Amino acid sequence: MGEIVVGIFVLLALLVIWSAIKVVPQGQEWTVERFGRFTRAIRPGITFVTPFVDAVGRKITMMEQVMDIPRQAVITRDNASVQVDAVVFTQVFDSPRASYEVENLSLAITNLALTNIRTVIGALDLDEVLSKRDDINARLLGVIDAATQPWGVKVTRIEIKDLTPPADLTAAMGRQMKAERERRALILEAEGERQSAVLRAEGAKQAAILEAEGKREAAWREAEARERLAQAEAEATRAVSAAVGEGNVHALNYFIGMKYVEAFAKLAESPQQRTVIVPTDLAGIAGAIEGVRALTEHSLRAVRADAEMPPGGKKGSGA
C-alpha cells in the first residue's frame, strides 16, 4: 500500500515537472497567461513556468508568411471591369500584439488587402492599371503596412499576381495593338523608301559631278592639245615663211606639197566619198617630197657651217 502511494506521488511529481517545462521551437513565440491574463512571451528554447498557474496562450509564428488574396472584380475609373488577385508577404514582429489586438490575423489582413486593392485600382484608368503595376504595388504596401502596425505585423511585400480584363476588351486591345504595329511598320517602310530615294539621288548627284569634272578635264586637255598644235603649226608656218622670204624654192615646194597632201587627205576622209581618185600626175607630189628633202639637207648644212665657224666671228667679217 505504501509503495502505491509513493508511486502516485512520483507520478504526480513527474506531471508537475512536465507541466512546468516548455520547449518553444525555432521560429515561434508563445504567450504565457496566468489565470487568463497575459504575463509574458517566451522565445525559442526551454522555459519553466509555474505549474497549474501559468498556461500557454497563443503560439505565434515569427517567420515570414505568404498569404494569397482571392480574385475579385474591380471597376476602374473609366468603368472597365478587371479581375484582380494578389499575394501578401507578412511577418510578425510583436507576438503579444498579434495575439491580442486582433481576433483573426490572417482574415483581417486578407480583408484589408481586398478593400485597398479596390480603392487603389478604382482610382486609376484601365491603361494605368495595366501599365503601372509597380506603382499599384507600392501604394498598396504603404497603406496595408501602416494599417497592420498596431497588430504587430510588418507587411514586407505585396504583389498583384494577375490582371484580367473582360474578353471583349481584350479583343479590342488586341485589334488596337495590331493596328498600332501595322502603322509602325508602314512608317518604317516609308522611312526606308525615303532614305533609299535620298541615297539614290545623292549617288546620281555625285555621279553627275564626277562626270562633269571628267568632261571639264577632258575639254581642258583637248584645248591644251589644240593650243600646242596651233603653236607648232604657227612655228612651222613662220619657219616656212621665213625660208620663202629668203627666196628658197625648196621651202615653197614644201609648203605647196603639204597643202596638197592635206587637201588629198580630207578628200579621202569624206563620209560621202566612196571612191578616191588618185591623180596620175605624181610628179608634183614627188617634187614636193624632193623639196622637203632638199630643204632638210640645206638646214643641216647651215647648222654644220655655224658649228664649224671659228669663235672670232662670222664669214666676211675680216679686216
Q: What would the DSSP string read from start to end of 97-142?
A: HHHHS-S-HHHHHHHHHHHHHHHHHHTS-HHHHHH-HHHHHHHHHH
Local confidence band at 305 (pLDDT 50, 70, 90 cut-offs): low
Residue pair 259/236 in contact by the 8 Å Cβ criterion: no
Amino acid 154 reads K
How far is Cα 65 from Cα 18, in angstroms, rounded to an integer? 31
Q: What percent of the chain has pLDDT over 70?
A: 75
Match 509555474 to its residue by C-alpha cell: 50
Grid coordinates given for 51: 505549474
- For the chain, strand residue ranges (E) read 21-24, 28-34, 37-42, 45-48, 54-61, 65-75, 81-92, 153-164
How far is Cα 117 from Cα 63, in angstroms, rounded to an integer? 25
| Over residues 40-63, mean pLDDT | 90
SS3 3: helix
Taking each continuous run of H as one helix and of E as one strand, the counts in the chain are: 8, 8
How far is Cα 44 from Cα 91, in angstroms, rounded to an integer? 17
How far is Cα 27 from Cα 31, in angstroms, rounded to an integer? 14
How far is Cα 133 from Cα 127, in angstroms, rounded to an integer? 11
Lowest-pLDDT choice from 124-133, 144-153, 162-171, 310-319: 310-319
- The alpha carbon of 134 is separated from its chain's Cα centroid by a whole number of angstroms, namely 27
Lowest-pLDDT choice from 19-33, 103-117, 138-152, 212-226: 212-226
Grid coordinates given for 111: 480583408
240 class by beta-carbon count within 10 Å (0-12 exposed, 13-18 middle, 19+ buried): middle
Packed helices 133-148 and 105-122: angle between N→C axes, nearest 10 degrees: 140
How far is Cα 5 from Cα 13, in angstroms, rounded to an integer? 12
Residue pair 80/69 in contact by the 8 Å Cβ criterion: no
How far is Cα 59 from Cα 89, in angstroms, rounded to an integer? 19
The string of pLDDT tens digits covering residues 240-297 is: 667 666 656 566 566 666 666 676 666 666 665 555 555 545 555 555 556 555 555 5
SS3 33: strand
Residue pair 32/39 in contact by the 8 Å Cβ criterion: yes
Grid coordinates given for 114: 481586398
Local confidence band at 217 (pLDDT 50, 70, 90 cut-offs): confident
pTM above 0.85? no
